[in-house]
Amino acid sequence: MKLIKVKEAIQSDNDQLAGQLRGKLKEEKTFLVNLMSSPGAGKTSLLLQTTAQMKHELRMAVIEADIDSSVDAERIVDSGIPAIQLQTGGFCHLDVPMVQQGLGALDSRGLDLIFIENVGNLVCPAEFDTGATIDVMILSVPEGDDKPLKYPLMFSKCDALIVNKIDYLQTSLTDFDLDLLEKRVRKLNKNINIFPLSSRTGEGIELWSEWLSSKVYEHNS
């Protein structure tokens, strides 16, 4: 009997395509951010704040991915930033061919910075390289500071961690411990960049945007 490990074969093909896409984006001077989190952590809210902060210096667009619906892409377009919606029809993550479809629909040449809002999920998106230049995740305060213990792969693979909804820290509604979270994350990923912020009040958005902007200029020059 012949045994074929389908998942490994799919991932190895995908890894190869991801490497090729990263090379192409580098040549075209386009920076691609893969933004991941659980549902509702604040991906779309962060994108609205970040693009508003950076729109005078960079040409940007957003690829939204959802299992169904196009509400997120509509919110981005309403803010004046080009966006397209990928509907995965049940898939819980994006792979490189799906991202390529999105890039094709946007005509990515001429854009400095493109964001992918990946499907809301802390498991599957962590396993699939999208070909993005960097991976960024959001953990929001109401989800709790124990998430690095439960979803270590996601925290291990990201270049930056946004801790969103820090406005909750000033209330009695949470026991979230930011220092404890940082200790847990650094055990998995020593050099990760951590940005506590609120996509509601705007606190911390400037620091995150400045860091991202410096990465974009480094990559695209």
Ligand X SMILES: Nc1nc2c(ncn2[C@@H]2O[C@H](COP(=O)(O)OP(=O)(O)OP(=O)(O)O)[C@@H](O)[C@H]2O)c(=O)[nH]1
Residue 198 interacts with ligand X (CB under 6 A): yes or no: yes
| Segment interacting with ligand X, rule: CB under 6 A, options 106-114, 122-130, 193-201, 210-218 | 193-201
Among positions 34, 44, 118, 130, the unique one binding ligand X when judged by CB under 6 A: 44
Q: Compare residues 53 and 121 and give the one whose CB is closer to Mg ion.
A: 121
What secondary structure does DSSP assign to the chain, as a single string? -----HHHHHHHHHHHHHHHHHHHHHHHT-EEEEEEESTTSSHHHHHHHHHHHHTTT--EEEEEEESS--HHHHHHHHTT--EEEEE-TT-SS--HHHHHHHHHHHT-TT-SEEEEE--S-SSHHHHS----SEEEEEEEGGG-TTHHHH-HHHHHH-SEEEEE-GGGGGSTT----HHHHHHHHHHH-TT-EEEE--TTT-TTHHHHHHHHHHHHHHHH-
| Segment interacting with Mg ion, rule: CB under 5 A, options 25-33, 35-43, 136-144, 148-156 | 35-43
Residue 72 interacts with Mg ion (CB under 5 A): yes or no: yes
Binding positions for ligand X, 112-141, rule CB under 6 A? 120
Residue 44 interacts with Mg ion (CB under 5 A): yes or no: yes
Among positions 43, 93, 147, 157, the unique one binding Mg ion when judged by CB under 5 A: 43
Residue 167 interacts with ligand X (CB under 6 A): yes or no: yes
Applying CB under 6 A, the residues found at the interface with ligand X are 37, 39-45, 72, 120, 164-165, 167, 198-200
Q: Which residues bind Mg ion (CB under 5 A)?
A: 43-44, 72
